[in-house]
Every structure is written in structure tokens, then in C-alpha cells.
């Protein structure tokens, strides 16, 4: 390698990505490299990305106290993805992993040279699983579960640390390897049977992994993102019926959705102890990304 090549590589912004082995991290790391960043990929299970601009390093157990400084010494900026979600855990465990570990990271950053922290929070830090109005960043946060409360507490700790930060609150993310609600909807879509969701009309905001990735680069590179909190979503909300129809179309299948009255679907789910599912498929949650777009983010 020539001296000029060494010089160019040394000038690349080095981004520490925690939780690099998760669904989002496996997409984000190669995306950041493609955008010209050098990535320190930290995860509990060290993952090989087979790219000279990615250095895989171990990440300590976030439920225990540890020293962040050795990781921070290697980077210029941090994207903090690591945490727990979609798990049955008590408030204390969520708090230790999602809040206290993040607070320790922010305090460690505050003690050294300026490094920008992009914290991946969640729309759950702002709202329950549905909302009767379009959400904005100005709404008073009302998290209603341990996951959302731990993410909101982490946001507050970051703001109190006096560091350079951007907080992103993504809605549910879809893409290859997705988990949670989207994985459930797509599993249902693959069933070779009619589904009783044709009458579901509640609008829900969703987020493609591609748009999530570009939002992170906006948070890393746009000075107007510093010190701000942003909802991240695709501009156009969708319905569950639309999602199922679109997914079945990708397999060359017809929608095969029965227009069963919403009240019947709701009562059936509630009677079988699945009321939480109704809140996620039959109730609205619209969270427009207007604020992020206003600083120059261009979703696809």
C-alpha cells in the first residue's frame, strides 16, 4: 500500500458500533464502510465481516459494570445499538442493560476527547404500542413497558452527560433477518391459507433497514443533528393488510385476505389472551419523520 493510501485510510472517521452482531448491526456495519467510514464492530459474539475497514472486537456483558475506555480509545464516534429487546425480562434487567450501561458509556465519553454518540433508542421510549394522534418529538414521553422506560432513562442520562449526541427513535424496522412484530407478520404471510385481516385499516409507521442506515449516517455527519432527538420512519405509514398483501405478492401469491370485521378480530385476540397483538395490528401508531427530513435526511 502506498503512503498516500495509508494517509487516506488514516483520515477515515472510525466509528464504534456496539451490538454489531444483531439484525440491525449486520446491515449497518457494511453500509457505514460503503459510506467511507472505518468501523470497530463490537459484539458479545465476535462476528467476522471480512472487510479490511472493519475491526471486530469483543463487547463485555452490558448487565455488568465494565470499563468503556479501551473501546473508546479506538474510535472517533460511537453508534450505540447494543441492548435487549423482544425478551421477557424484568424492569431491573432492562434498566441495567439499556439504561445503566448507556449511562456509563456517556460518562466515559464525557471524560475524554470529544466523540459524537449516536444512541439508537426506540419509539417505545416515547409512546406505548399505539397512539391516538400523529407522534412528534415534542410529545411528552409516555413509555408503558420496561423496554421503553429503560430506553427513555438512557436518553435522559445521555443528555445529562454534557456530550455531543444524537438520539434516534426508530419505529419497527424490517429487512432481512428482522425480528419482533415484522417477523411475525411475515411468518403469517407465508402461510398458504386465507388470513382474516382484510378489514384492518389502522395506519402504522414502519422503517426499512436501508432508511435506518441512512438516518444513522445523517446523525453522524450532519451538524444540525447534534444535541437533537429524531423519530425515524418511512414517510408513508401502512396497514397490516397492506404489509401482508405486499409480502405475498413478492412470492407471486394473491393477497388472500378475508374482510373479517375488526371487532371480531379484536374480540378473538382478546379472548385468547392476545390483546397486545391487537394493539400492534389493529390500533394506529403514526410517527412521521418530518423533523429528520427537515435537516436534510433523504429517505428512499
Q: Quote the pTM value.
A: 0.91
In the prediction, which pLDDT does 1 show? 40
pLDDT tens digits, 263-296: 998 899 889 888 788 888 888 999 999 999 999 9
Neighbours of 125 (CB within 10 A): 23
CATH 3.40.50.720 intervals, the chain: 3-174+208-234+287-294
Whether residue 117 contacts residue 165, with contact meaning beta carbons closer than 8 Å, is answered with yes
pLDDT tens digits, 140-189: 999 999 999 999 999 999 999 999 999 999 999 998 888 777 778 888 88
Order of strands across the sheet that contains 228-232:
54-58, 38-43, 14-18, 77-80, 116-120, 165-170, 228-232
Please provide the CATH number assigned to the domain covering 3-174+208-234+287-294: 3.40.50.720
The grid cell for 180 is 419482533
Q: What angle do CA 37, 159, 77 make, to 5 degrees?
A: 15
Neighbours of 286 (CB within 10 A): 16
The grid cell for 50 is 471480512
User: Would you say residue 8 has pLDDT above 50?
Assistant: no
Q: In angstroms, rounded to a whole number, what is the distance separating the alpha carbons of residues 152 and 232?
A: 16
Output the DSSP codes for 156-192: HHHHHTT--EEEEEE--EESTT--HHHHHHHHHHHSS
In the prediction, which pLDDT does 10 show? 58
Amino acid at each position: 500500500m502506498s503512503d498516500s493510501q495509508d494517509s487516506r485510510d488514516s483520515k477515515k472517521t472510525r466509528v464504534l458500533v456496539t451490538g454489531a452482531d444483531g439484525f440491525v448491526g449486520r446491515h449497518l456495519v457494511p453500509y457505514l464502510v460503503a459510506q467511507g467510514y472505518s468501523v470497530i464492530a463490537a459484539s458479545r459474539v465476535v462476528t467476522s465481516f471480512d472487510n479490511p475497514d472493519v475491526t471486530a472486537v469483543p463487547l463485555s456483558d452490558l448487565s455488568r459494570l465494565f470499563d468503556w475506555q479501551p473501546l473508546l480509545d479506538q474510535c472517533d464516534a460511537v453508534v450505540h445499538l447494543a441492548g435487549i429487546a423482544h425478551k421477557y425480562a424484568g424492569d431491573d434487567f432492562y434498566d441495567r442493560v439499556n439504561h445503566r450501561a448507556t449511562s456509563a458509556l456517556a460518562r466515559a465519553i464525557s471524560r475524554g476527547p470529544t466523540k459524537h454518540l449516536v444512541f439508537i433508542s426506540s419509539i417505545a421510549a416515547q409512546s406505548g404500542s399505539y397512539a391516538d394522534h400523529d407522534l412528534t418529538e415534542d410529545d411528552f414521553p409516555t413509555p408503558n413497558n420496561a423496554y421503553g422506560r429503560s430506553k427513555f432513562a438512557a436518553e435522559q442520562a445521555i443528555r445529562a452527560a454534557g456530550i455531543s449526541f444524537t438520539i434516534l427513535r426508530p419505529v419497527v424496522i424490517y429487512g432481512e433477518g428482522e425480528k419482533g412484530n415484522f417477523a411475525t407478520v411475515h411468518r403469517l404471510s407465508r402461510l398458504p391459507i386465507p388470513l382474516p385481516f382484510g378489514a384492518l385499516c389502522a395506519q402504522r409507521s414502519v422503517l426499512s433497514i436501508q432508511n435506518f442506515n441512512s438516518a444513522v449516517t445523517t446523525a453522524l455527519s450532519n451538524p444540525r443533528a447534534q444535541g437533537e432527538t429524531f423519530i425515524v420512519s418511512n414517510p408513508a405509514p401502512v396497514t397490516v393488510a397492506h404489509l401482508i398483501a405486499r409480502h405475498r405478492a413478492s412470492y407471486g401469491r394473491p393477497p388472500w385476505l378475508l374482510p373479517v370485521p375488526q371487532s371480531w378480530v379484536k374480540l378473538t385476540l382478546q379472548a385468547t389472551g392476545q390483546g397486545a397483538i391487537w394493539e400492534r395490528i389493529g390500533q394506529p401508531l403514526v410517527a412521521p419523520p418530518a423533523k429528520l427530513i427537515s435537516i436534510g435526511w433523504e429517505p428512499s
